[in-house]
């Protein structure tokens, strides 16, 4: 019976996907006529996107049947994937994969653990995986912004940094203002999204809870909880990262290794 | 000069610096496995010494390794081989921060920190927990012709003013050795003249020991006690000003000797700017 229901929902989903994809293609076709479209790239991107998301859906379908601890494996896999994406943003920083992974574990991992321990985040796959994935994704985004900005600041201020070193400053002192700038830059999008919560965007969890019949007010309050978890996790991740990154761009003799 | 009577403050032994084998560029894995492990050498086997209170000029064309040499002397970069003896002690045994406080540096551009002039000057001493009183800062600024500038923001300074602040900032650490990396070449003509005269008088008054990198042999002749010429990372000439620079000036088609230039150092002949070499 479940199979039959699943089957009908699946075909309904497929039809909805086709309609949505066609709409996007139509918009791109109009844009193409005006000479600004990327029509040729879109179908391939759509195909990739749908295969990825369907694969994730299939994995989730499997996970949902398993015991709760399997969600921890899923979260660990997400953290590894997030760290490898952050690394691609921080190419010139040595050991950036480990740096990103340690920071994500320290930030996202510890905040999630506290929330689970406090009972705010129930230890259920249906909660842990979606909320965890949002926390990790946001953590990844902020860390990418942080490292990208920090690298940019350092590369464009090697003169000032080496002048500070030449005056006997420690590596930490020499880069402290660039760390602060990068940290601030990485927090701005998150603070803006907290500020505009509900007015500019109704984020995924709330939309999902409302769609599945929960009280909109409870969904809204829970959304705030989730956003706060996400913010603390991401901010803590970047803080950890900022404490560790200095050691990655200098050697033991406080010589700057990250150069244009 | 008798080399035994005067112990060299700085002694460089076979200093060599090779470019590190390029950072892993990711995609070019085949190319990087073919590429030899040791990179191109930018400085090879340079040996010289500077006595306390003396000025050594380092001259040579752009890209000859002059700036690289200076960066090795305060260990902003690491020599691939060879070493530096500071006051007879291998400088690798001195903690980097301590070494850099003893070996001051002024670069082509001032690279002042955002904030006030006074904050910049107090920066060096603050790193070891000592603070300069405002009277001291004012005195130091007065010496370089910037009296009353203490509370000015560094973003409002002209190139020449900024460079004078940078010189004061380096001297605030009371370094034993001062490295000058083309300190006048990024300035306009008037400022170049002022800063050069200021440096010359500071060197005289405070009996500073300097390694002065310049692309201008006339500037070297005006201020140096000895000259070292680099070509493609190798020491091509080293010795008294006259011995080294006569060749250079003859090469320029000028007949005047270095000694005459030093004697008549009141007027500073201008030379077209070479490309910065870092």
Each residue's pLDDT tens digit, B10-62: 999 999 999 875 544 433 334 333 444 456 789 999 999 999 999 999 999 99
As a whole number of angstroms, the distance between CA B54 and CA B208 comes to 7
Give the per-residue pLDDT at A130: 82
As a whole number of angstroms, the distance between CA B92 and CA A252 comes to 12
Each residue's pLDDT tens digit, B236-267: 999 999 888 875 454 454 444 555 555 444 44
> By the 8 A CB rule, do B200 and B207 touch?
no
Give the per-residue pLDDT at B3: 42
- For A166, which of B23, B100, B114 is closest by C-beta distance? B100
As a whole number of angstroms, the distance between CA B56 and CA B66 comes to 12
- For A91, which of B26, B123, B169 is closest by C-beta distance? B26
Has residue A186 got a pLDDT over 90? yes
Q: Spell out which residues of chain A touch residue B78, defining contact as CB-CB under 8 Å.
A: 251, 253, 255
Cα R_g (chain A), whole angstroms: 22
What 3-state DSSP class applies to A253? coil
- For B97, which of A91, A159, A254 is closest by C-beta distance? A254
As a whole number of angstroms, the distance between CA A149 and CA A93 comes to 12
Q: Spell out which residues of chain A touch residue B173, defining contact as CB-CB under 8 Å.
A: 167-168
Q: State mean pLDDT over A165-193.
A: 93
The percent of residues in chain A predicted with pLDDT above 90, rounded, is 40
Determine contact: A160 vs chain B, CB below 8 A. yes
Indicate the average pLDDT of chain B: 84
- Any idea which residue has 């902003």 for tokens? B76
Q: State mean pLDDT over B107-135.
A: 95
- DSSP H helices, chain A, are 2-33, 41-65, 70-89, 96-104, 110-117, 125-156, 158-166, 171-195, 204-211, 216-249
Answer yes or no: do A177 and B114 touch at CB < 8 A: yes
The DSSP line for chain B is --TTTS-EEEEEEEEEEEPPS----SS-HHHHHHS-SS--EEEEEEEEEEETT-EEEEE--TTSSHHHHHHHHTTSS--SEEEEEETTEEGGGS-HHHHHHHEEEE-SS--PPSSBHHHHHHHHHHTTT----HHHHHHHHHHTT-TT-TTSBGGG--HHHHHHHHHHHHHTT--SEEEEESTTTTS-HHHHHHHHHHHHHHHHHHT-EEEEE-S-HHHHHHH-SEEEEEETTEEEEEEEHHHHHHHHHHHTT----HHHHHHTTTS----PPPPP--
Give the per-residue pLDDT at B257: 52
pLDDT interval class at A209 (50, 70, 90): confident
Question: Which of B23, B130, B178 should one mutate to test binding to chain A, selecting the residue with the greatest count of A CBs within 10 A?
Answer: B23
Which of A18-27, B25-34, B70-79 shows the lowest mean pLDDT across its residues? B25-34
ipTM of the complex: 0.84
Q: State mean pLDDT over B213-222.
A: 93
As a whole number of angstroms, the distance between CA B253 and CA A131 comes to 77
As a whole number of Å, the end-to-end CA separation of chain A is 63
Determine contact: A162 vs chain B, CB below 8 A. yes
pLDDT interval class at A228 (50, 70, 90): confident
Cα nearest neighbour of A169 on chain B: B127
CB atoms within 10 A of CB A115: 22
Contacts of B232 (CB under 8 A, 6+ apart): B63, B64, B65
> What is the layout of strands, in order, in the sheet containing B226-231?
B103-106, B177-181, B209-213, B55-59, B226-231, B234-240
Residue B26 is encoded by which pair of tokens? 């990711």
Residue B230 is encoded by which pair of tokens? 């680099």
Each residue's pLDDT tens digit, A116-128: 898 888 888 888 8
Q: What dihedral angle (degrees, nearest 10) is formed by the CA atoms of A181, A186, A190, A192?
A: 40
Cα nearest neighbour of A170 on chain B: B97
Determine contact: B173 vs chain A, CB below 8 A. yes
Answer yes or no: do A255 and B96 touch at CB < 8 A: yes
Give the per-residue pLDDT at A176: 95
Determine contact: B109 vs chain A, CB below 8 A. yes
Question: Which of A88, A97, A167, A180 should one mutate to test binding to chain B, selecting the residue with the greatest count of B CBs within 10 A?
Answer: A167
CB atoms within 10 A of CB B262: 18
* B209-213 and B177-181 strand pairing: parallel
Burial class, B157, CB count within 10 angstroms (exposed 0-12 / middle 13-18 / buried 19+): buried
Query: Does this model's pTM top 0.95?
Result: no
Give the per-residue pLDDT at A37: 64
């Amino acid at each position: 019976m479940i199979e039959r229901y699943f089957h009908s929902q699946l075909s309904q989903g497929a039809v909805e996907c086709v309609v949505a994809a066609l709409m996007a293609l139509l918009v791109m076709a109009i844009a193409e006529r005006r000479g600004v479209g990327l029509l040729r790239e879109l179908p391939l991107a759509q195909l990739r996107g749908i295969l990825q998301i369907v694969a994730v859906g299939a994995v989730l379908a499997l996970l949902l049947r398993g015991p709760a601890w399997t969600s921890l494996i899923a979260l660990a896999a997400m953290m590894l994937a997030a760290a490898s994406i952050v690394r691609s943003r921080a190419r010139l920083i040595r050991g950036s994969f480990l740096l990103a992974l340690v920071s994500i574990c320290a930030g996202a991992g510890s905040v999630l653990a506290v929330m689970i321990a406090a009972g705010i985040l129930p230890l259920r796959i249906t909660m842990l995986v979606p909320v965890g994935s949002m926390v990790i994704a946001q953590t990844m985004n902020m860390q990418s912004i942080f490292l990208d900005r920090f690298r940019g600041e350092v590369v464009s201020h090697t003169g000032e940094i080496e002048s500070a070193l030449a005056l006997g400053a420690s590596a930490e002192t020499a880069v402290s203002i660039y760390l602060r700038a990068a940290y601030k830059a990485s927090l701005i999008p998150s603070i803006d999204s907290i500020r505009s919560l509900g007015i500019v965007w109704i984020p995924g969890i709330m939309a999902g809870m409302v769609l599945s019949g929960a009280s909109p007010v409870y969904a809204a309050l829970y959304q705030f909880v989730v956003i706060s978890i996400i913010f603390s996790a991401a901010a803590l991740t970047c803080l950890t990262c900022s404490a560790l990154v200095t050691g990655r761009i200098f050697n033991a003799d406080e010589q700057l290794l990250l150069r244009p | 000069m008798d080399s035994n009577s005067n112990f060299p403050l700085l002694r460089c032994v076979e200093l060599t610096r090779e470019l590190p084998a390029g950072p892993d560029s990711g995609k070019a894995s085949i190319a990087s496995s073919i590429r030899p492990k040791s990179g191109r050498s930018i400085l090879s086997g340079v040996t010289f010494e500077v006595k306390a209170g003396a000025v050594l000029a380092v001259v040579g064309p752009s890209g000859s390794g002059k700036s690289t040499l200076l960066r090795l002397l305060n260990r902003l970069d690491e020599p691939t081989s060879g070493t530096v003896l500071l006051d007879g002690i291998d400088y690798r045994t001195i903690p980097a921060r301590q070494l850099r406080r003893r070996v001051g540096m002024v670069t082509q551009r001032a690279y002042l920190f955002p904030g006030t002039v006074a904050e910049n000057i107090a920066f060096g001493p603050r790193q070891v927990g000592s603070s300069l009183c405002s009277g001291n800062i004012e005195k130091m600024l007065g010496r370089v012709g910037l009296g009353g500038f203490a509370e000015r923001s560094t973003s409002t300074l002209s190139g020449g003013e900024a460079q004078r602040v940078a010189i004061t900032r380096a001297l605030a650490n009371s370094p034993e050795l001062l490295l000058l990396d083309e300190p006048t070449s990024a300035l306009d003509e008037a400022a170049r003249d002022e800063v050069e005269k200021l440096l010359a008088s500071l060197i005289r008054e405070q009996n500073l020991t300097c390694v002065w990198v310049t692309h201008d042999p006339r500037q070297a002749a005006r201020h140096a006690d000895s000259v070292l010429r680099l070509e493609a990372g190798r020491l091509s000439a080293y010795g008294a000003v006259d011995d080294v620079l006569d060749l250079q000036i003859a090469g320029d088609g000028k007949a005047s000797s270095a000694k005459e230039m030093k004697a008549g150092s009141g007027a500073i002949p201008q030379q077209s700017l070479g490309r910065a070499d870092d």
